[in-house]
Homo-oligomer: A and B are copies of this chain.
Amino acid sequence: MDKPYLRELSKPSLENPIFVQGLPGFGNVGRIAAHLLTKFSEAKPFAELYSPSFPDYVSISSKGICHLPKYDFYYAAMEKSHLIIMTGETQPSFDDVLAHYEVCSDILSFVEKQGCRFLVTMGGVPITEEKAQVYVAATSPRLAAEFMEKGAVIYSKGRIVGGTGLTLALAKERGLEGVCFLGATTGFKADRGAGYQVFKFLMKTLGKEIKEGSQEKTFKP
């Protein structure tokens, strides 16, 4: 294996799918939000992406089974369309910029093939004071304004590192539309609260209001 490769486990038929990506990073916000989303939407795995640029360790399951680091793609039915959700336990090394570009490009090629024209990436943004806030960046001023009206703050003049930013910016280059939701987080430890904020905001924008309290008990990300 000297290139990323994608293994399809099944070939679901998807209607106008929206792609949602949540990878590990600051406070693990993106990954936690993606996890909540797969649970809530009862999403099913249908594809896996492997890459020789992922870290060189293998993980062992509780039953002693080894597996390579990978990204998992899930799909879920919404009222009139589908979601494709991607998450994973890792990212390519911070220095390996070429690998980041390659992996994000392969992700986009795959979801475009599935019919995606819109995507959401989710991550964290480090802040010094605790505050339940979701920031937004977008592929167009119209989209940024639209999600600002729904309660997000424009992530003005910021930077987004790793796959969370690259997938969105590369999507823009391909003529796709999308947004990035960043949950404010104070730490580098897994921040379930910030992940939940991003998940809740995403559900709201998808037309599904999440009631405070109730969900937090349901999900054990």
A: which residues have CB within 8 A of B? 1-2, 50, 52-68, 93-102, 105, 136-141, 144, 148, 154-162, 165-166, 168-170, 172-173, 180
A58 to B68, CA, bound (A): 28
A63 interface neighbour in B1, B53, B154, Cβ under 8 Å: B154
- Docked pose: A132 CA to B156 CA in angstroms: 36
9 shortest interchain CB distances as A-B pairs: A64-B144, A58-B165, A52-B101, A64-B154, A58-B169, A57-B161, A57-B159, A56-B97, A68-B169
Q: Which residue of B lies closest to A168 (CB)?
A: B66
Bound-state Cα–Cα, A59 to B169, Å:
9
Contact yes or no, A65 B2, CB < 8 A = no
Residue in B closest to A140 when the chains form the complex, CB atoms: B65
Question: Which residues of B lie under 8 Å from residue A139 when comparing CB positions?
Answer: 65-66
CB-defined contacts of A56 to chain B, threshold 8 Å = 94, 97, 100-101, 161-162, 165-166
Once A141-B65, A170-B68 are accepted as A-B contacts, the answer to whether A1 and B156 lie under 8 Å apart by CB is no
**Given known A-B contacts A64-B137, A156-B60, A97 and B105 have beta carbons under 8 A apart:** no
For the complex, give the distance between the alpha carbons of A159 and B90 in Å: 13
Neighbour of A144 across the interface among B1, B50, B65, B159, CB < 8 A: B65
Whole-angstrom distance from the CB of A163 to the nearest CB of chain B?
Answer: 8
B contact residues around A96 at 8 Å (CB): 97
Contact check, B97 vs A55: say whether CB atoms are below 8 A apart: yes
Q: A97: which B residues are within 8 A, CB to CB?
A: 52-56, 93, 96
CB nearest neighbor in B for A182: B60
A-B contact pairs, 6 of them (CB 8 A): A52-B100, A56-B166, A58-B165, A60-B160, A65-B141, A66-B139
State how many angstroms separate the Cβ of A190 from the closest Cβ of chain B: 16
CB–CB A67/B162 < 8 A: no
Chain B residues within an 8 Å CB radius of A148:
64
